[in-house]
């Protein structure tokens, strides 16, 4: 033992054992220390069931007898050796109580060998960040009142090198950044880039919770990529998986011969459908591990947000488990009380240190108050994927327009709850894989009609309250469903329909970014008001969106392939209404049937003294604004919207 090291260990070890060490990655793993002018690498690992632990690697010919570790309390083992070279490979050789030897990668490893190799590697960063201006601007931004338009990406398959090999982190940034800027996306969201062994898991079966995957470069290459996105004004969100982990031999599974990171009770500890293990959220050490992982990505890698995967599977003890294969909680309910506490502590820890972070829950049920503060009984996230909206709308758009009149509720129901949480509207990878087909493939009708429907849908999505997310390839109407083993079908841009679709998405994104009524009051009824939601027979809806100044846009959607002439809606002001954006415009491949501007008439309708008669293009979404575009007195009896209160 290096002198005074034991005393230095006491505080971080105590925090770790109590579940409150949110920087345990600074204590565990491999770290350089100095003593009397000599540098050492100090290794620490948590293995509470182990009989003995040794450090093995290239430096000692993988001989477990050469570098034994000693217990320092709380199931933690430690050793210090002369400082190793950068990229030196190592593992922990763990002797379990039954005498079996397990070779394990470092759970806190900063870098790993590229699969199929599985060892951890010494890595100490020398990167100098250059994103101070981005981080300062982000601290001053109110994300709830800002445009958020996310481009979701699977790193391997967005684009590859000509020989089919993967892009590296730095090259990816050089190619992606101009594309995102041209398309007016505000954020990029990566499917998991935490180290994982199997490509076919898409990154969702993690073995390295503190390291970017080595498939695409070093941790500093990852940092440089994030830095480049920030320099371009683009936020970075990373998918993060605290719900489960795989059974790979070198990973967390039965780490020291016993159930260390996972629940012992198989009724709580395994996702049978996924073939993975569930973290034991009742163990303080596991909570320290996971919360530290989340904080590490914000602190060490400067990501702007984490999309927390499979939250529903954490919240419910009976998630994907038939009767008899799950165990009720102490109150007889099906809620996982330990997981609920963990999620609250996770969000409290993240927001205490990173108040401008994005913590986004992929939660697919009606669990209440997901995005409410923990002090009010919420889970403490600041955004949640709106899976209900997604499911309803994809069913609606997939059905023959003839039957949409009988399913009008799928179009309008989301507006009843869209302000109960801070929502993201997700069209994610999950909707275009496993036989679900691409988004353009989901649209009803023939080839041309599919494009008309898809443009109308994306326009409606931009108009609906909530932040936006679209999976790669859907912006140009990829025809086949997503295949993680091949890059997107970029050759489709040689075809007019797909090239025009990309142009449409680009202009729609820009229109969204430039018009505050579409995002400034996403979380409040003050930013939304119906004009007409009950014309189910013609599958038409019309509503208003407001910004903080009271300026507004009027949105009219027609979801059947029928042109409606002289279609009348009530309007709040006497005057002209200018058509700003039309999904059916000729430049996007549409009919261009709608007028550029219409004047109101003193014909009462929908609770207003005035109305306008429109030509509704078939399968279209149209955006209008009053002219001149300034605040006026509404002729509707209800009061004009007030500024949103946070």
Beta pairing class for 467-471 and 149-153? parallel
pLDDT above 80 for 536: yes
pLDDT above 60 for 641: no
Mean pLDDT, to the nearest integer, of 180-207?
Answer: 97
| Helical pair 284-299 and 337-353, crossing angle rounded to 10 deg | 30
Judge whether 362 counts as a catalytic residue.
Answer: yes
Confidence at residue 2, expressed as pLDDT on a 0 to 100 scale:
60
Rounded distance between C-alpha atoms, residue 491 and residue 173, angstroms: 21
Assigned token pair, 26: 């600074």
pLDDT tens, position by position, 132-144: 999 999 999 999 9
**């549409």: which residue's tokens?**
590
- The DSSP 8-state label assigned to residue 4 in this structure reads T
pLDDT above 70 for 1: no
Confidence at residue 8, expressed as pLDDT on a 0 to 100 scale:
77
Rounded distance between C-alpha atoms, residue 385 and residue 375, angstroms: 22
Assigned token pair, 351: 């927001």
Mean pLDDT, to the nearest integer, of 225-250?
Answer: 98
Residue 603 Cα distances to 237, 568, 574, 609, 640, angstroms:
49, 9, 11, 6, 21
pLDDT above 70 for 147: yes
530's enclosing H/E stretch is: strand 528-535
Collapsing DSSP to helix, strand or coil, 411 comes out as: helix
Confidence at residue 3, expressed as pLDDT on a 0 to 100 scale:
53
Confidence at residue 5, expressed as pLDDT on a 0 to 100 scale:
67
pLDDT tens, position by position, 32-46: 998 888 899 999 999
Beta pairing class for 89-95 and 101-104? antiparallel
Q: Say if residue 628 is preceded by a cis peptide, omega within 30 of 0.
A: yes
DSSP 67-80: SB-EEEETTEEEEE
- Pair 541, 464: CB distance under 8 Å: no
Beta pairing class for 597-599 and 540-546? unpaired
Confidence at residue 644, expressed as pLDDT on a 0 to 100 scale:
35
Confidence at residue 640, expressed as pLDDT on a 0 to 100 scale:
42
**């909530």: which residue's tokens?**
466
pLDDT tens, position by position, 298-356: 999 999 999 999 999 999 999 999 988 999 999 999 999 999 999 999 999 999 999 99
Helices (H), 381-446: 387-398, 408-412, 439-442
Catalytic residue among 280, 309, 452, 552: 309
Angle at 155 between CA 149 and CA 156, to 5 degrees: 150
- Least-confidence region, from 107-121, 208-222, 446-460, 621-635: 621-635
Residue 619 Cα distances to 351, 407, 476, 555, angstroms:
43, 16, 18, 14
Catalytic residue among 362, 475, 547, 609: 362
Mean pLDDT, to the nearest integer, of 196-209?
Answer: 97
315's enclosing H/E stretch is: helix 311-315
pLDDT above 50 for 537: yes
pLDDT above 90 for 636: no
pLDDT above 70 for 52: yes
Share of the chain above pLDDT 90, in %: 92
Rounded distance between C-alpha atoms, residue 135 and residue 133, angstroms: 6
pLDDT above 70 for 4: no
CA atoms within 13 A on the CB side of 482: 25
425 - beta bridge partners?
468
Confidence of residue 584 (pLDDT cuts 50, 70, 90): very high
Confidence at residue 595, expressed as pLDDT on a 0 to 100 scale:
82
Share of the chain above pLDDT 70, in %: 96
Confidence of residue 646 (pLDDT cuts 50, 70, 90): very low
Judge whether 220 counts as a catalytic residue.
Answer: no
Handedness of CA 241, 244, 248, 253 (dihedral sign): positive
Rounded distance between C-alpha atoms, residue 557 and residue 572, angstroms: 18
Residues ≥6 apart with Cβ < 8 Å to 624 = 553, 554, 555, 556, 577, 578, 579, 580, 598
SS (H, E, C) 258-285: CCCCECCCHHHHEECCCCEECECCCCHH
Residues ≥6 apart with Cβ < 8 Å to 525 = 419
Rounded distance between C-alpha atoms, residue 82 and residue 30, angstroms: 12
**């719900």: which residue's tokens?**
243
Confidence of residue 643 (pLDDT cuts 50, 70, 90): very low
Mean pLDDT, to the nearest integer, of 352-365?
Answer: 97
53 - beta bridge partners?
94
pLDDT above 50 for 645: no
């Amino acid at each position: 033992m290096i002198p005074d090291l034991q005393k230095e260990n006491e505080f971080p070890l105590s925090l770790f054992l109590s579940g409150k060490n949110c920087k345990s990655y600074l204590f565990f793993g491999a770290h350089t220390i100095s003593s009397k002018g000599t540098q050492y690498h100090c290794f620490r690992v948590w293995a509470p069931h182990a009989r003995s632990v040794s450090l093995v690697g290239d430096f000692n010919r993988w001989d477990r007898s050469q570098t034994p570790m000693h217990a320092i309390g709380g199931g933690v083992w430690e050793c210090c050796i002369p400082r190793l070279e950068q990229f030196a490979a190592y593992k922990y050789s763990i002797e379990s109580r039954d005498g079996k030897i397990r070779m394990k990668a470092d759970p806190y490893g900063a870098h790993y060998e590229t699969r199929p190799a599985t060892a951890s590697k010494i890595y100490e960063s020398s990167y100098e960040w250059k994103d101070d201006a981005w981080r300062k601007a982000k601290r001053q931004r109110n994300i709830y009142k800002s445009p958020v338009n996310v481009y979701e990406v699977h790193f391997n398959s967005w684009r590859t090198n000509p020989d089919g090999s993967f892009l590296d982190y730095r090259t990816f940034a050089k190619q992606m950044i101009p594309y995102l800027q041209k398309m007016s996306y505000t954020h990029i969201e990566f499917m998991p880039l935490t180290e994982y062994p199997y490509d076919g898991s898409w990154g969702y079966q993690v073995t390295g919770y503190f390291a970017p995957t080595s498939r695409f470069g070093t941790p500093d290459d990852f940092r440089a990529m994030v830095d480049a996105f920030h320099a371009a004004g683009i936020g970075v969100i990373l998918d993060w998986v605290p719900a489960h982990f795989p059974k790979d031999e070198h990973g967390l599974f039965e780490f020291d011969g016993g159930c260390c990171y996972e629940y012992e009770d198989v009724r709580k500890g395994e996702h049978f459908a996924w073939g993975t293990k569930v973290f034991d959220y009742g163990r303080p050490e596991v909570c320290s591990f996971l919360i530290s992982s989340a904080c590490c990505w914000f602190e060490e890698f400067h990501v702007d947000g984490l999309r927390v995967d499979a939250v529903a599977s954490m919240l419910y003890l009976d998630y994907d488990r038939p009767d008899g294969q799950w165990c009720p909680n102490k109150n007889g309910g099906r809620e996982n009380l330990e997981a609920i506490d963990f999620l609250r502590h996770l969000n409290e820890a993240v927001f205490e240190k990173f108040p401008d972070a994005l913590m986004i829950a992929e939660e697919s049920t009606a669990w209440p108050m997901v995005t409410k503060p923990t002090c009010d009984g919420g889970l403490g996230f600041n955004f949640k994927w709106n899976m209900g909206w997604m499911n309803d709308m994809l069913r609606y758009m997939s059905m023959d327009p003839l039957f949409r009149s009988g399913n009008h509720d799928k179009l309008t129901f989301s507006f009843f709850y869209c302000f109960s949480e801070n929502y993201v509207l997700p069209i994610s990878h999950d909707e275009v894989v496993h036989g679900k087909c691409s988004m353009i493939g989901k649209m009803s009708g023939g080839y041309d009609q599919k494009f008309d429907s898809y443009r109308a849908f994306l326009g409606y999505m931009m108009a609906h309250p909530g932040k936006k997310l679209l999976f790669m390839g859907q912006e140009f109407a990829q025809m086949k469903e997503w295949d993680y083993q091949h890059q997107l079908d970029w050759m489709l841009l040689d075809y007019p329909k797909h090239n025009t679709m990309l142009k449409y998405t680009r202009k729609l994104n820009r229109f969204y970014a430039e018009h505050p009524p579409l995002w400034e009051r996403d979380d409040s009824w003050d930013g939304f008001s119906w004009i007409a939601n009950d014309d189910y027979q013609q599958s038409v809806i019309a509503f208003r969106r407001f910004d903080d100044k009271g300026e507004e846009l009027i949105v009219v959607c027609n979801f059947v392939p029928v042109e409606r002439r002289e279609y009348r809606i009530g309007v709040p002001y006497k005057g002209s209404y200018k058509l700003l954006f039309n999904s059916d415009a000729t430049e996007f491949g549409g009919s261009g049937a709608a007028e550029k501007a219409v004047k109101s008439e003193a014909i009462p309708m929908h609770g207003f003294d005035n109305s306008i008669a429109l030509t509704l293009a078939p399968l279209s979404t149209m955006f209008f604004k009053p002219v001149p575009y300034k605040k006026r007195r509404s002729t509707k009896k209800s009061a004009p919207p007030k500024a949103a209160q946070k």
